[in-house]
Amino acid sequence: MDRFIVTYRIRADDAADAAGRAEAIALEDTVEIPRDVVPKGYVEDTILGKVLDVVEGGDGVWIARIGYHIDAVGRELPQLLNVVLGNASILRGVKAINLTPNADLRQRFSGARFGAAGLRGLIGRETGGFVCPVIKPQGSSSETLARLCYLTAVAGADIIKEDHGLANQDAAPFRERVKLCAAAVLQANSERAQTGETSRALYFANIGGHGDHVRDLAYYAKDAGADGVLLIPGLFGFDAMNRLAQDPEFGLPIMAHPSHLGPYVLSPDNGYGHGMLFGQLMRLAGADISVFPNYGGRFGFSREECQEIVEHCRETDGLGPIILPSPGGGMSIDRLGDMVDNYGHDCVYLLGGSLLRYGDDIGEAIRDMRAALSD
Amino acid sequence: MDRFIVTYRIRADDAADAAGRAEAIALEDTVEIPRDVVPKGYVEDTILGKVLDVVEGGDGVWIARIGYHIDAVGRELPQLLNVVLGNASILRGVKAINLTPNADLRQRFSGARFGAAGLRGLIGRETGGFVCPVIKPQGSSSETLARLCYLTAVAGADIIKEDHGLANQDAAPFRERVKLCAAAVLQANSERAQTGETSRALYFANIGGHGDHVRDLAYYAKDAGADGVLLIPGLFGFDAMNRLAQDPEFGLPIMAHPSHLGPYVLSPDNGYGHGMLFGQLMRLAGADISVFPNYGGRFGFSREECQEIVEHCRETDGLGPIILPSPGGGMSIDRLGDMVDNYGHDCVYLLGGSLLRYGDDIGEAIRDMRAALSD
């Protein structure tokens, strides 16, 4: 295949309209000029998107596949997204629902560094789902947050995730907070090791600060002892995540947070399909763990949409290694059984605000989670 | 006012549901924990969002105003967007439609460096709308693109904008292209000056490359002689734009392109209002010119939505100086008269693909645009 393929769901009046709209997308996302002025030769033959087929999908919707050449992209992820859904994101009734990589795309965007297997190795837990408390709320001091890190880590958590709203506010500035939290998890891991426990807790620091400081902040976190970072591609850009993932010197796993990305999936007629955004694009951009709001919580994803995300995180012919899905958003321990039935063990189970109800007994909640997620 | 205010349009079943949903947003975008575990004192009194009022708007919609304290933000723009619409972007039926800054917000985010008046000064044109050809398509060589720059600049264009799809592809790598294009516009300006013309064309280079190279690429463009940069906040992040705008050493105007941002405005029930995104947030993030798709072109914005964008670009109590709106997207010269009636002279009129029909006579098209946009 000399082209990678994007599949679009197009709302149209009839087959001719659908075909015309597919051709319009192919123009819009590459040359962005009227068809009659596309220069002959290289621009028309290689750069211009190529409509492969347009098939009726029922209910006024058509499914179009468009092939794009890597030459229209270059080597940087922002321009890849321009080609996949840049200006077409502004067209009414156009939703990108699938990405089929080719060898060119795989070569330039190699995906996650660790993936599901790599993370299981880092944590040292051979079986069972991953217990992931979320440390919050913002406004707490660094010491308070670090204590929550310690209490959950020593009780057996697998991943300690900072809340995505812990940025760089005065109450707990990034550098101070990360230093204390990393030290707290290190201490807890050392105590766990003394009991003969072979698994360890990984501390994921939330990158909070300016976009052009992401690399510096991530390296600071690493040097302070963090085991991974949480990043919000909807605010910092997907390329910010990919640059860390593709940096062999950095070499820590990355958890992607869905904040600010809602509008890309909530409309049936615009943006991305759930699986494409939270599965395929997160993998392509280098996330090892993709956080998304679970069905039945505060957010409006359906069970089927969540399932689609998980399938794309795990599809074996996807881009790079398979990664860990991570459902969260208003979950509670009594729902974990149902969630494990649905998502299985290669999954990071988030539990946030409701853990705070346990106060100093938060370790009990972690042990309850562990029990619910074990074989 | 000790809080800045975000106004949300909320779809709800009844007044009680609307009130509950407003409280949920105030929690979601700040502490992200259940209300009963919000710590007393600073977190509850200052960090937690405060619902100011919820008013029925008809048709199952309520209008809620929520006040946020700057302490929940800190000093960086990514976290500001987390507070304004981070996780709430994933809630069904929640759309942010207005931002009312307070002194704290104005102090930390000062807006555009040049704005409408500054750009008019840089161009040196006292009256009339601004003529802005778009140089394309990608796949063309740097020489071909530079020749288009020269031909349009010498014919009297005010701003030469690169297509947002000219990134860093092999056909015209960023550094080579920008160097040639800047030199071409410089040459044209020198010829214009010899005829006694007092205005000059500004060349805006499209930042194409990796997100963590934005600053380097922008400085390269400046050193090569570019007069401004085009940036895509939907791909590089709004903070990338703000960092350039707030860098006094950089000191060039910035044009924001709407690529990849469509899903934020196209649904009535999610994302941002048109005026909030392409007016208020672009100003806040430091754009001097905000590009958006005009009504009646290829894209689906209505005349009213475009008017709302323009009003927010120009509202005098907005954040920072007023900026220039820039409608585009499939425009042609014969529509300019109608557009001027609608948008007036403090506006950048984009014309892209259709200009290519003129071939080597593209200068004629520029002169026709000028005639249509003069007093």
Residue type, B287: A
- Nearest partner of A352 among A279, A301, A297, A287, judged by Cα: A297
Span A175-233, pLDDT tens digits: 999 999 999 999 999 999 999 999 999 999 999 999 999 999 999 999 999 999 999 99
Q: Which residue of A has its CA nearest to B212?
A: A212
Contacts of residue B43 in chain A, CB cutoff 8 Å? 137-140
Identify whether residues B163 and B227 lie together within a single domain: yes
Residues A45 and A49: their CA atoms lie apart, in Å, by 9
Task: Enumerate the residues of chain A whose CB falls inside 8 A of the CB of residue B258.
Answer: 90
Number of structural domains (chain B) is 2
C-alpha separations of A207 from A215, A257, B31 in Å: 9, 11, 17
Interchain proximity A38–B269, CB inside 8 Å: no
pLDDT at A43: 98
Residues A124, A104 share a domain: no
User: Are B332 and B270 in the same domain?
Assistant: yes
> Can you tell me whether residue B351 is helix, strand or coil?
strand
Q: Regarding beta strands A94-100 and A4-11, do their DSSP bridges make them parallel or antiparallel, or are they unpaired? A: antiparallel
Please list every residue in chain B whose beta carbon sits closer than 8 Å to the beta carbon of residue A97: none
C-beta atoms of B137 and A33 within 8 A: yes
CA distance B265 to A165: 24
Contacts of A180 (CB under 8 A, 6+ apart): A142, A143, A145, A146
Strand A4-11, strand A61-68: pairing: antiparallel
pLDDT tens-digit profile of A73-116?
999 999 999 999 999 999 999 999 999 999 999 999 999 999 99
User: Are the Cβ atoms of B235 and A356 closer than 8 angstroms?
Assistant: no
Residue to mutate among A212, A231, A290, A302, with most B CBs inside 10 A, is A212
What contacts B173, CB < 8 A, 6 or more positions away? B142
Query: Quick one: pLDDT band at residue A326, thresholds 50, 70, 90?
Result: very high
B96 & B125 share domain: no
Confidence bin at A58 (pLDDT 50/70/90): very high
Q: What was the pLDDT predicted at B67?
A: 98
Residue B181 and residue B143 in one domain: yes
Within this chain, do residues A283 and A334 fall inside the same structural domain, yes or no?
yes
- Burial of residue A170 (CB within 10 Å: 0-12, 13-18, 19+) is exposed
In contact, B263 and A270? CB cutoff 8 Å? yes
pLDDT for res B375: 67
Measure CB to CB from residue A270 to each of B81, B266, B293 and give the nearest one. Answer: B266
State the smallest CA–CA distance between residue B193 and chain A in angstroms.
32
Which of A30, A79, A306 to probe the B interface (max B CBs under 10 A)? A79
Q: Within this chain, do residues B52 and B11 fall inside the same structural domain, yes or no?
A: yes
Measure the CA–CA gap between A125 and A341, rounded to whole angstroms: 19
Chosen from B45, B212, B351 to mutate, greatest number of chain A CBs within 10 A = B212
Residue B68: which CATH number? 3.30.70.150
Q: Tens digit of pLDDT for each residue in A244-271?
A: 999 999 999 999 999 999 999 999 999 9
Residues B180 and B34 reside in one and the same domain: no
Among chain A residues, the shortest Cα distance to B84 is held by: A260
Say what the pLDDT of residue B297 is. Answer: 79
Closest alpha carbon within chain B to A356: B37
Question: What is the band of A1 on the pLDDT scale with cuts at 50, 70, 90?
Answer: confident
Does one domain contain both A266 and A335?
Answer: yes
Q: Pairing between strand B61-68 and A94-100?
A: unpaired
Distant-in-sequence, close-in-space partners of A249: CB < 8 Å, separation ≥ 6 = none
Which of A58, A75, A108 represents a domain boundary (last residue)? A108
Contact at CB, A82 and B165, closer than 8 angstroms: yes
What pLDDT, on a 0 to 100 scale, did the predictor assign at position A375? 67
Nearest C-alpha neighbor of B253 from the set B184, B129, B161: B161
Residue B49's closest CA among B107, B5, B90?
B5
Q: CA-nearest residue of chain A to B241?
A: A211
- What's the pTM value of the predicted model, to 2 decimals? 0.98
User: Looking at residue A179, which CATH number applies to its domain?
Assistant: 3.20.20.110
In which band, very low, low, confident or very high, does the pLDDT at A296 lie, cut at 50, 70 and 90?
Answer: confident
Give dist(CA A25, CA B220) in Å, integer: 32
Question: How big is the A-B interface in CB pairs under 8 Å?
Answer: 318
Place of tokens 């403090």: B346
For residue A101, give its domain range. 4-108
**Domain boundary, last residue among A108, A143, A166:** A108
Give yes or no: residues B86 and B154 share one domain.
no
Lowest mean pLDDT across A130-134, A329-333, A346-350, B252-256 = A329-333
Tell me which chain A residue has its CA closest to the CA of residue B168: A74
Same structural domain, A50 and A119: no
The answer to whether residue A365 scores a pLDDT higher than 80 is: yes
- Inter-residue contact B259 to B232 (CB < 8 Å): yes
Tell if the CB–CB gap between A78 and B47 is shorter than 8 Å.
no
- Average pLDDT across each block of 10 residues of chain B; the chain has 375 residues. List them in order: 96 97 97 96 98 97 98 98 98 97 97 98 96 97 98 98 98 98 98 96 98 98 98 98 97 98 97 98 98 89 97 96 94 89 96 90 95 86
d(CA B5, nearest CA chain A) in Å: 18
Q: What distances in angstroms separate CA A53 from CA A19, A165, B246, B272, one per listed residue?
A: 9, 43, 47, 34
**Are A39 and B140 within 8 A, CB to CB?**
yes
Do A343 and A280 share a domain, yes or no?
yes
- Residue A76 has its nearest CB partner, among B39, B167, B267, at B167
| pLDDT tens digits along A238-251 | 999 999 999 999 99
Q: Which of B236, B261, B353 sits opposite A32 (nearest CB)?
A: B353
Sheet containing B289-293: which strands, arranged edge to edge?
A: B324-328, B289-293, B254-256, B228-231, B202-206, B159-162, B130-135, B348-351
Contact B259 A87 (CB under 8 A): yes
| The last residue of a domain, from among A56, A80, A108 | A108
What is the 3-state secondary structure of chain A? CCCEEEEEEEECCCHHHHHHHHHHHHHHCCCCCCHHHCCCCHHHHHHCCEEEEEEEEECCEEEEEEEECHHHCCCCHHHHHHHHHCHHHHCCCEEEEEEECCHHHHHHCCCCCCHHHHHHHHHCCCCCCEEEEEECCECECHHHHHHHHHHHHHCCCCEEEECCCCCCCCCCCHHHHHHHHHHHHHHHHHHHHHCCCCCCCEEEEECCCCHHHHHHHHHHHHHHCCCEEEECHHHHCHHHHHHHHCCCCCCCCEEECCCCCHHHHHCCCEEECHHHHHHHHHHHCCCCEEEEECCCCCCCCCHHHHHHHHHHHHCCCCCCCCCEEEEECCCCHHHHHHHHHHHCCCCEEEECHHHHHHHHHHHHHHHHHHHHHCC
Task: Identify the pLDDT of residue A242.
Answer: 98
Classified as helix, coil or strand, B162 is strand
Inspect the interface and report whether the beta carbons of B270 and A269 lie closer than 8 Å. Answer: no
ipTM rounded to 2 decimals: 0.97
Q: Do A82 and B263 touch (CB under 8 A)?
A: no
d(CA B52, CA B360): 60
Cβ-defined contact of A43 to B137 (cutoff 8 Å)? yes
Distance, CA of A213 to CA of A336 (rounded, Å): 37
